[in-house]
Structure 1
């Protein structure tokens, strides 16, 4: 018979060697951590094509007689590209800084001594209109916040006209919703930039039909190589570059609101009043390119993700913006009747921002750019100084809903 195996004894202890042998560690599967997707900035070549496309669209719009063609067409191009996902970020920082500085230099070049003297008699009505515009915006924002879906600081900072970049910067400090404030501010700028040229064109046509003097046309305009107002192009371009660089530096050092815009405007104002600097204001192709950059900068902010995030608040915000715009138009009508200012100049001077788009419209429609630039600049400074105080007052005096 085959030997049978001994039964296994349960009282046997394992040998010391077996007890000291290291046991293999159990395998623990490490979770894969996926890195967040960061939207890469669009390459320089793509932005060059987009800017060229915006300029080409402006040429086509100009051929069809669209008011402020380079501003409106590039704004629409930027919005379409942003909604389609072609671009997910703003203009490259150097391009944005250059466009802001050039707009500031252009604004300062219109503030001649004669223009400032002509605006002096209406200084008091302009101050009243500026205060009434801010009060109207705050009142509409207070009613918007009563719905409970937006805080009072967010509503005030979003609806107050002027200084979009500076208002968005101080939103976090005032405990407001930065994303909502930014969207509301740039939606207002886009709405005004789209409607102001059309309204100004309609007002001009109505004035001409009523027997008024139509705005003088710009003729064929300067040639391709004539990019600044002076006869000496190289000297004018050099002066423009110095004003843009020195103004941007001075604006940052002085900590003025929107330093890349206000700084060059103040330096250009000093250069214009002194009369020692030759014609440096951008004209022709350079001016059109600046307006294209202004339009693209507004348009590319309206991405699909931004619209989805605030889709429920969009209807009441649009209604409140329409009320503010109509109220400002009413103030412009009163101002025009009291002072005798042309209604188009009064409308562009009192319309609720943004200053870049309004200036482009004023230049394109041959309005009183000095008056428009002066009023818009003064209101921007007043808004930057007063709005944070008003937002803090509303947040502390009334409890949030």
Structure 2
């Protein structure tokens, strides 16, 4: 009887350990409950939130609204897993193709007379951002990759998509990047309206052929022929992704398609492939959701502590860019409004929309912004690796729970 009673006692004394497997079972249930159908509903909800935000004039509405949707779902425990890998890879490739389509031959020709000062200002902007990020990493207990990626201006979606592969905290990077985009997109129209001279527009339209033409649901790429444009886009993404992996580029799924798109745009071999309209919005929704679902209560508490130093550094970068715009305007004779919009560290879409509405030189603004965007995406991974190699960096306090998401 004793041998049988002992196990019974141990069995009776072990209920304290019985509840432990329960959370594992519930987590498995959440991750296996129709993931495809669940993500379709989540993506549709993110797109609907972007539509609503766009109606209210929110800057970068599909990015910001879907990010908030993803964060809300993650904080409520509805979503406990990441964006499906195929959707994440596709969004990176499409973002790369979009970024590579901005720098057009016409924009380069129009900006040729100011090429040298434009290059100097672009390099100075990046150097200023990296210097401020270095100070932020020292004072704010943030890893250097996270600080640099958060502070560099240009290509917010592209920077966020490559944060993971560069060992940065994607949530901190997204928080800093989109906070900057929101602040600049809010203040740039007011500043441009205050500085505008009321002259007629020197150029109009969106670089890369992505203007406002064809805003219907079936208009997915910039060209008139949608079928050939979609085929060209698929070819750019596939060839760029393959080349990026083959050449072992940093963030190959993003930079590979961006370089192929850049070559295709400058050569005119495959015009009209840039994602526009519904397709572009859909890509931004995927990027926003991929970032949003990583936010946790611990992350938000950590970011609240980091907000003051981030805002101070952001102010320094914005004032520094305004100073560079003043120098650029004085050296080239460019109106200060154009120089300010060309150098401001804001989201390129919001800045270009401001340039059109304020009758600025859109060709100049788009060229400087696009050049900086391309240089930032190409050079930032190299800068981060050099900074990381100079001294081992501990993980940022915000990124402590990265492995749990």
TM-score range, shorter chain: 0.7 to 0.9
Aligned counterpart, 2:401: none
For normalisation by structure 1, the TM-score amounts to 0.73
| 338-347 vs 57-66, greater mean Cα deviation | 338-347
Q: 2:96 aligns with which of 104, 117, 120?
A: 104
Matched, 1:185 2:182: no
In structure 2, the CA distance between the partners of 1:170 and 1:104, relative to structure 1 (3 Å rule), is closer
Q: Contact between 2:134 and 2:148, CA under 8 Å: does it hold in 1?
A: no
For 1:376 and 1:194, how far apart are their aligned partners in 2?
17
Which residue in the other structure is 2:372 paired with? 375
Q: Could you tell me which residue of structure 2 aligns to residue 315 of structure 1?
A: 308
Shift of 1:191: 0.9
Q: Which sections of structure 1, spanning at least 5 residues, go unmatched?
A: 1-22, 172-177, 397-401
* Distance of aligned partners of 1:216 and 1:139 in 2 relative to their CA distance in 1, 3 Å threshold: closer
Change (3 A) 1:74 1:201: farther
Structure of greater Rg = 1
| Shift, 1:318, TM fit | 3.7
Q: In structure 2, do the counterparts of structure 1 residues 375 and 255 end up closer, same or farther at CA, with 3 Å as the change threshold?
A: same
- Unaligned runs of at least 5 residues, structure 2: 154-158, 206-210, 357-361, 394-405
CA distance in structure 1 between the aligned counterparts of 2:101 and 2:83, rounded to whole angstroms: 25
Give the CA deviation at 1:329.
Answer: 4.0
Distance in 2 between residues matched to 1:292 and 1:340, nearest whole Å? 40
Deviations along 1:60-84, whole A, 9 cap, x unmatched?
Answer: 3443444444344334434444444
Partner Cα separation in structure 2 for residue 283 and residue 216 of structure 1:
16
Q: Distance in 1 between the 2:180 and 2:300 partners?
A: 18
How many equivalent residue pairs? 361
**Other structure's SS at 2:269 match:** coil
Distance in 2 (CA, whole Å) between partners of 1:74 and 1:100 is 16
Q: Deviations over 1:241-278 (max 9, x none)?
A: 11111111112222223322221122122222332324
Q: Which SS does the other structure have where 1:226 is aligned?
A: coil
Partner of 1:13: none
* Contact map agreement 1:142 1:156 (CA 8 A) in 2: yes
Q: Secondary structure at the match of 2:101?
A: helix
Match of 1:150 among 141, 148, 151: 141
Correspondent of 1:205 among 171, 179, 193: 193
- Distance in 2, matches of 1:338 and 1:88, equals 53
Aligned to 2:36: 44
How much has 1:98 moved relative to structure 2? 1.9
Question: Contact between 2:325 and 2:343, CA under 8 Å: does it hold in 1?
Answer: yes
1:55 is displaced (CA, Å) by: 2.7
8 Å Cα contact 1:349/1:376 also seen in 2: no
Change (3 A) 1:83 1:168: same
Quick one: distance in 1 between partners of 2:220 and 2:231?
12
1:169 — aligned with what? Answer: 165
Structure 1 residues 340 and 227: alpha-carbon distance in aligned structure 2, compared to 1, 3 A threshold: farther
**Is 1:277–2:270 an aligned residue pair?**
yes
Report the structure, 1 or 2, having the larger helix content. 2
CA distance in 1, matches of 2:145, 2:267: 43
Q: Distance in 2 between matches of 1:289 and 1:342?
A: 36
Q: How does 1:13-24 map to 2 (within 5 A)?
A: 24=3
Deviation string, structure 1 residues 111-159 (Cα, Å, up to 9, x no partner):
2222233344444334433443344344434544555x72774675465
Once residues 193 and 83 of structure 2 are traced to their aligned partners in structure 1, the CA distance between those partners, rounded to angstroms, is 35
In the alignment, the residues of structure 2 paired with residue 73 and residue 247 of structure 1 have an alpha-carbon distance, to the nearest angstrom, of 29
The secondary structure found in structure 2 opposite 1:110 is: coil
1:361 aligns with 2:350: yes
Residues 10-61 of structure 1 deviation map (CA, whole Å, 9 limit, x = unaligned): xxxxxxxxxxxxx959658486483575685583333323332333333334
TM-score, with normalisation over the residues of structure 2? 0.72
> Of 94, 105, 119, which aligns to 1:113?
105
Deviations 1:179-221 (A, max 9, x none): xx4443222112123223323433443355x324468586674
